[in-house]
Structures are given as structure tokens and as C-alpha cells.
Amino acid sequence: MSLQLRRNLLIILLVATVLFIWGNSCLSRAQSTKISDFVMNLLHIERDSAGTQVRPVRKAGHFTEFFALGGEFLLLFSLEKLSSRRRGLLLAFCGMFFPLVDETIQMFNDRSPEVRDVWIDIFGFSLGCLVAFLLLLLFRRIARKPKRSSPPAVSP
């Protein structure tokens, strides 16, 4: 697969992920609760009377979305000819910008933004970058490993 095709596919995936994340933030509290209830049903988690079991599902959702986003950004930036410093600065900027915008969107509907969610998002983004980086190192090491040929035959 060509470098340009990989880059374009990652950009499409990134845009789709950001639209998914920010689209969820545009939902009303009632719509968001319905989605959380759907996920809880999929995971066979019973809602307690106080609704306290919904919170971990929502927080896991925040973490998972930004975990994927962090991995996608790292993979995209690894395709670019950037210095390690510039790549790190771009990742740090994206890791703060997108969570902040995500919570800011919630100010414009009946949901309240939470600093805790920003931290969860940043942590998810960072861990996604780390996992993608380690996988990238692993795949590059495997690709560079020379194939072993069979040992030469010993003549008598």
C-alpha cells in the first residue's frame, strides 16, 4: 500500500473519529443516557437505583474514544517527515486541543462539561499514542528482521 494511500486512509479515519466524538458531545443528556443504557445492556450491566453504574460506562467511553484518537494521530504523524520534537509537540497539542473542544461543545446543550472528563480524555489519548508507538516499533522490528535461510549442507 502506498504511503499516500495510507496517509489518506488515516486522515479519513481521524475525521470520522473526531466527528463521532464531537457528535456524541452534541447529544442532549437524554440521548446520551439512552446510548449509555444501550452499552450497559450490551455489557450486561444492571443499572442501580441511584444510576451510579452509568458513570463508569460514560468514563470508559471517553477513555476509549480518545485512546483510538491518540493512536490514529501517532500513526499519521509517524508517516510524516517530522523531527521527533515536532511530532511530540503536535501530539501534545492534539492531546489537549481535542478533549478541550469536546468538553466545550457540551456547554451549548443541557450537559455540563467536566474537568475530570478532560483528564480522562488526555490520559486515553496519551495511552493510545503509547500503545500505537510500541506496536509500530514491534512491526518495524519484525519487518527488518532478516529471514533465516537453512544452514548450509555439510559435505563429508
Per-residue pLDDT tens over the stretch 103-144: 999 888 888 888 999 999 999 999 999 999 999 999 989 888
148, pLDDT greater than 90:
no
Domain boundaries, the chain: 3-144
> Is pLDDT of 29 > 90?
no
DSSP 52-82: TTHHHHHHHHHHHHHHHHHHHHHHHHHHS--
Least confident of 26-30, 43-47, 138-142, 149-153: 149-153
Cβ atoms within 10 Å of 17's Cβ, excluding its own: 18
Amino acid making up residue 35: I
Cα–Cα dist 112/104, whole Å: 9
Calpha distance 25→100 (Å, rounded): 12
Residue 21 confidence (pLDDT) above 90: yes
Helices (H), the chain: 3-26, 29-42, 54-79, 84-105, 115-144
Please state at what angle helix 84-105 crosses helix 115-144, rounded to 10 degrees.
150
List pLDDT tens digits, range 54-112. 778 888 888 999 999 999 999 999 999 989 999 999 999 999 999 999 999 988 888 88
